[in-house]
Amino acid sequence: MKDLMGKAIWDFYQNKSADDLLTETSISEIDELPVEYFFRDFDEMNSLEQKALELSTGKILDIGAGAGSHSLYLQNEKKLEVFALDNSPKSVEVCRLRGVKNVWCSDILDFPVQTFDTILLLMNGTGIFESLDKIDFYLEKLQSLLNEKGQILIDSTDILYMYDRDEDGGVMVPADRYYGEVDYFIHYQLDTENPTKWLYLDFETFKRVAENNGFEIEKILQEEDSYLARLTKKDLN
């Protein structure tokens, strides 16, 4: 992994400026992503992120922490015990330099087992699941990291709107895969990261899969085509 996103985050932290990241998917064209976006304050975050941070309690695992903005708010403003996790070495180092006390560089599937009261997966948190046929492995891991009365706060987007429609109004989705499965590309300073598999989930599909894996799920907030969901362990009594 070239860690281009981590390099951009590192460059911005060190120099207070950086070239924009360029992102694209297998179903969309190149778009600019200013690196300063990862350094937002609470007031600059969208309503889904703000709601998730407001609902966060107890011991927290922030998965895909990036530059650590969510972790820093919870640690410094809400005085909570936060553990920031990212598989980007440069991003993890920036988290440390910005003052996040507990930081790990690891893939979630390799993260050592301990338990948390709140697990956060924000900025399309379902993306790490990669594809529908892998989601069970990730949900099983999240189950193992969650306290019995704990919660997972996760956001996603239904990207059905990105597909063309035929003359009768039907949506022209792929026949060989779930329409929310895409290849995600990152470009930075004339270099390109190898594509990663990225999953966008509509809520009804997420609900079905989550319930099949022992979770209760509720939609907390909707913002256009995006939503914030809360998962809790099913009460088996």
Domains of the chain by residue range = 4-233
Which class in CATH covers the domain with range 4-233? alpha beta
The whole-number pLDDT of residue 213 equals 96
The whole-number pLDDT of residue 94 equals 98
Across the 237 residues of the chain, what is the mean pLDDT of every consecutive 10-residue run? Answer: 93 90 95 96 98 98 98 98 97 98 96 94 97 96 96 97 82 90 95 95 98 97 97 85
The whole-number pLDDT of residue 237 equals 61
Q: How far is CA 233 from CA 13, 201, 206, 209, in A?
A: 38, 20, 15, 13
The whole-number pLDDT of residue 169 equals 74
Whether the Cβ atoms of residue 186 and residue 4 lie closer than 8 Å to each other: yes
The whole-number pLDDT of residue 171 equals 84
pTM for this predicted structure: 0.95
Whether the Cβ atoms of residue 34 and residue 20 lie closer than 8 Å to each other: yes
CA 46 to CA 207: how far, in whole Å?
A: 23
